[in-house]
Chains A and B, each alone.
Chain A
Amino acid sequence: MAPKSRKAANGSANPSGSTSGEKSPSKQAQVEGETAVLVDAATTHPGLNLAPSAMAREEVKVNNASATDMKHACDDALKRFLSRPELFKQIHTHTDVRLALGWASVLVSAGTGFYGYKVEFEKSKPVIWAGLILYILLTVAQALYAYFVEGDVVFVGKRKTFDKRIVTERITVSSKTIPSTPSAPCPSYALSLSYVRSASGGKTLLGKGRAGAERPHNAFFDAQGVMDQEGFERWVGGIVGRVMQGPSE
């Protein structure tokens, strides 16, 4: 436990290994700013604890030359952070729809293949046509759903609190990678959140918020590809706190 948290703590104080000197003062200010938001958020929202978790975590090591690997690592860390019991409960609808459509198409194709194997060719043609068309429809539906409905969404979470009335909060997080440009040579991780707070079963809207932020990947991954999870969680916690404060009553 101790060596791992030491590595994370080292990482948070000094994420970009080599250029330590000039980064630390601004980094410290950043950390302080983020913690201030967390404290604010905790006062307006009962039971909300956006600070990075104190318990030890497994080391996350990815290939830091691959932007997709780093994005996936950030997305996973985000999901782990926001799914904590005192934060949000993840709603798995997008994943479930994708799984249902995908597995349905696999089963349809398996059934069609098996039927074609058992029955001789001429007699099996109508059923195989039906199976093929059904498979194409399911695959196209899955692709359209993933592109239009799901889009960039990474996490959808819900939270219920009892504060004179039942308050339901819903947060949707999407992320994407901003590729590197000649002026910004490190690709960035862009996060955008959308937050809705309502009461009495969603009929009364209490507050809405939107926030977005981006950070280059070298803020979270060091030269070996080890992820600074605590720093990442602090950053995410700051943004979530900001969006939950937002323009609300």
Chain B
Amino acid sequence: MFADELKALRRLGFRHVLLQILNFASVLASGLMIWKGLGLITNTESPIVVVLSGSMEPAFYRGDLLFLTNPPNQRYEIGDITVYKVPGADIPIVHRVLETRDLVSNNKGMVAASPLAQEQLLLTKGDNNHIDDIELYQGLEWLERRHIIGKVRGFLPYVGYVTIAMNDFPQFKYALLGGLGLLALIQRE
């Protein structure tokens, strides 16, 4: 099937093969760098996430794509939709902030005046759940700022199903990657 292309590759020599592999590798590298750059700009480790459960219906359904930012200088208010990861659990959860509390630090008898100086504690609950998330916190009573991955700024419906499909059927992911690789190796710019 690819006899012509293989013959052409053999004829063109080692440098050419290196160039073609470089084509493929640089597509992957630029994708990775765009992802990392986006994460740095939005100050979150995962700027785009997919909703897996129905606990935020009717706002977000399973398969929606969410865009997150994590502004370091702003407080999280009641009503913000946050994505958080409890240490010990491996999947992040998308729920709304129900209560906030400040952990006031008493430094030599003085309290800092700025509202941002205090550590913020949060309690969340999914819109579609009857009870708040205390049971999901794995022993914690409140979520701290450092557990929060980010705040939802926007969303795209249905697009996340591609990621869900690739996670549930890994063959699909490898087939896609293999197809991309073949295309990059054979095509010349």
User: A: which residues have CB within 8 A of B?
Assistant: 58, 61, 68, 72, 76, 80, 92, 95-96, 98-99, 102-103, 105-106, 109-110, 112-113, 116, 120-122, 125, 128-129, 131-132, 135-136, 139
Contact A106 B18 (CB under 8 A): no
Q: Which 8 A-B pairs have the closest CB atoms?
A: A109-B29, A121-B45, A106-B25, A106-B29, A102-B22, A113-B32, A109-B33, A135-B33
User: B: which residues have CB within 8 A of A?
Assistant: 4, 7, 11-12, 15, 18-19, 22, 25-26, 28-30, 32-33, 36-37, 39-40, 44-45, 146, 188
Shortest beta-carbon distance, A79 to chain B, in Å? Answer: 8
Contact A132 B19 (CB under 8 A): no
Contact B19 A98 (CB under 8 A): yes
- The answer, among A99, A120, A128, A132, for a CB contact under 8 Å with B15, is A99
Interface of A is mostly: helix
**Known A113-B32, A121-B45, A125-B40: A106·B26 in contact at CB below 8 Å:** yes
Shortest beta-carbon distance, A200 to chain B, in Å? Answer: 31
**Known A58-B11, A112-B36: A95·B19 in contact at CB below 8 Å:** yes
Contact B18 A99 (CB under 8 A): yes
Residue in chain A with minimal CB distance to B188:
A72
**Known A61-B4, A106-B29: A92·B15 in contact at CB below 8 Å:** yes
Give the chain B neighbours of A80 by CB distance below 8 A.
11
Give the chain B neighbours of A131 by CB distance below 8 A.
36
Residue in chain A with minimal CB distance to B44:
A121
Give the chain B neighbours of A129 by CB distance below 8 A.
40
Q: What are 6 A-B contacts defined by CB distance under 8 Å?
A: A58-B7, A106-B22, A106-B29, A109-B29, A109-B30, A122-B146
Give the chain A neighbours of B188 by CB distance below 8 A.
68, 72
Per the bound structure, the CA–CA distance linking A99 and B22 in Å amounts to 8
Contact B18 A112 (CB under 8 A): no
Contact B22 A113 (CB under 8 A): no
- The answer, among A72, A102, A113, for a CB contact under 8 Å with B26, is A102
Residue in chain B with minimal CB distance to A98:
B19
Shortest beta-carbon distance, A118 to chain B, in Å? Answer: 13
Shortest beta-carbon distance, A221 to chain B, in Å? Answer: 15
Residue in chain B with minimal CB distance to A110:
B29
Shortest beta-carbon distance, A11 to chain B, in Å? Answer: 18
**Known A99-B18, A121-B45: A132·B26 in contact at CB below 8 Å:** no
Residue in chain B with minimal CB distance to A71:
B188
Give the chain B neighbours of A136 by CB distance below 8 A.
33
Q: Counting chain B CB atoms within 10 Å of each CB, which of A58, A61, A106, A135 scores highest? A: A106
Residue in chain A with minimal CB distance to B22:
A102
Per the bound structure, the CA–CA distance linking A120 and B30 in Å amounts to 22
